[in-house]
Amino acid sequence: MSESHLRLQDVVKSYDGRVNAVDGVSIDIARGEFVTFLGPSGSGKTTTLMMIAGFEDPTSGAIELNGRDLTRSKPYRRNVGIVFQNYALFPHMTAARNIAFPLRMRGVASREIRRRVDSALELVGLGRFADKFPREMSGGQQQRVALARGLVFNPDVLLLDEPLGALDKNLREQMQVEIKRIHREIGITMIYVTHDQSEAMAMSDRIAVFGNGRLEQVAPPLEVYNRPATRFVGAFVGDSNFFEARLDPARPGWAEIEGIGAIRLAESVPAAASRVEILVRPERIRPAEGAPEPFNAMDMTVRTLVDYGDSVLAIGTVAGHTLRMRLAGQAPETLREQSRLRVGWAPRDAHVVPGD
């Protein structure tokens, strides 16, 4: 990766001196990157964002921006923009005045303020809304104003704290596209906080997965999905099938799953590992008939079918293990509840997660 633009080194945050809400987080973010902090509620992602913004002080560790130590700097000295989920617009100000506010606080000349505000409104597609008050705009339009306000003073980093959480699904998707377009156009470094996995997958250059205050993995979206570093990441990001497996050093390239038997692996496994977990995504499970060799085949009893229109999720059992299989399109006639069929996966479609 290119030279770090924003660096967090062993950042810790504890509110009571006993439990760490953020526990030793270290990450380097390059200039112009779009990095998403992804994790469940209470995982430390928003607290980390607030420490970057300066609204929370780290208990220990360091935060650097362009090589400058920001750890104890006041928020207004950081040149960091932030966009909140609740917009945080001033209701008595028009869109233009809301956007101009950070420039006025910085003492920018009036003519320059007008130029920058007009440019920011055009960037977010609200050129005709300059004189509208927040109450006269939709949620999506208000969020665009908040985004323009976060960008208008040319921050070194723009922080977005679940900015689309209050919008409906269709509007969320439209705003995802808009935010990515703006990111491409101006090349600003963005850090985006969300618990929505599909949002993180669609928007990010890299995803930083948080769990219990720690960074579990930092990687491009497809690597996080296809090669999760821990069981937590594999279970949190996407739908999963996990199987505990035992390795036999005398038989490399194979693993033994209780009740299912020996399965073939495509990935190498650390020599010291004796137990691992095998992750197979539901869309990688398929009927054995016509499957290419090699193929790990087994008999599945279908318990439940869920039809999503564009795909069908079959939930069943294999030798006491729950198995989830997702097939694109319509379900074949042979796939019915209580039916029994032979299914499986190719070795290359499984990922080995080292055991704890």
Based on the domain organization, do 292 and 161 belong to the same domain?
Answer: no
Based on the domain organization, do 183 and 37 belong to the same domain?
Answer: yes
Q: What band does 2 get if pLDDT is binned at 50, 70 and 90?
A: low
Summarize pLDDT for 25-59 with one digit per residue, the tens: 999 999 999 999 999 999 999 999 999 999 999 99
Based on the domain organization, do 273 and 215 belong to the same domain?
Answer: no
Q: Which of 206, 234, 262 is the last residue of a domain?
A: 234
Based on the domain organization, do 154 and 208 belong to the same domain?
Answer: yes
In terms of Cβ atoms closer than 10 Å to its own Cβ (0-12, 13-18, 19+), residue 293 is exposed
Based on the domain organization, do 204 and 244 belong to the same domain?
Answer: no
Measured in whole angstroms, how far is the alpha carbon of residue 325 from the centre of its chain? 24
Calpha distance 87→122 (Å, rounded): 19
Q: Which domain holds residue 119?
A: 4-234
Q: Please report, for the domain that includes residue 334, its CATH number.
A: 2.40.50.140
Q: What band does 355 get if pLDDT is binned at 50, 70 and 90?
A: low
Q: Which of 234, 268, 299 is the last residue of a domain?
A: 234
Contact 182, 120 (CB under 8 A): no
- Tell me: pLDDT of 235 over 90: yes
Based on the domain organization, do 148 and 166 belong to the same domain?
Answer: yes
Based on the domain organization, do 288 and 171 belong to the same domain?
Answer: no
Based on the domain organization, do 206 and 60 belong to the same domain?
Answer: yes
Contact 21, 13 (CB under 8 A): yes
- Tell me: pLDDT of 1 over 50: no
| Number of domains making up the chain | 2
Pairing of strands 321-328, 311-318: antiparallel
Based on the domain organization, do 26 and 65 belong to the same domain?
Answer: yes
Summarize pLDDT for 326-345 with one digit per residue, the tens: 999 877 777 889 999 999 99
For the chain, what percent of residues have pLDDT higher than 90? 81
What's residue 87's pLDDT?
Answer: 80
Based on the domain organization, do 98 and 70 belong to the same domain?
Answer: yes
- Taking residues 253-280, report their average pLDDT: 87
Q: Please report, for the domain that includes residue 159, its CATH number.
A: 3.40.50.300
Q: What are the φ and ψ backbone dihedral angles of 350, each rounded to 5 degrees?
A: -110, 150
Based on the domain organization, do 127 and 199 belong to the same domain?
Answer: yes
What's residue 272's pLDDT?
Answer: 66
Based on the domain organization, do 18 and 81 belong to the same domain?
Answer: yes
Summarize pLDDT for 286-332 with one digit per residue, the tens: 999 888 889 999 999 999 999 998 999 999 999 999 999 999 987 77
Reduce the secondary structure of the chain to three states and give it as a string: CCCEEEEEEEEEEECCCCCEEEEEEEEEEECCCEEEEECCCCCCHHHHHHHHHCCCCCCEEEEEECCEECCCCCHHHCCEEEECCCCCCCCCCCHHHHHHHHHHHCCCCHHHHHHHHHHHHHHCCCHHHCCCCHHHCCHHHHHHHHHHHHHCCCCCEEEEECCCCCCCHHHHHHHHHHHHHHHHHHCCEEEEEECCHHHHHHHCCEEEEEECCEEEEEECHHHHHHCCCCHHHHHHCCCCEEEEEEECCCCCCEEEECCCEEEECCCCCCCCCCEEEEEECHHHCEECCCCCCCCEEEEEEEEEEEECCCEEEEEEEECCEEEEEEEECCCCCCCCCCCEEEEEECHHHEEEEECC
Q: Which of 217, 234, 251 is the last residue of a domain?
A: 234
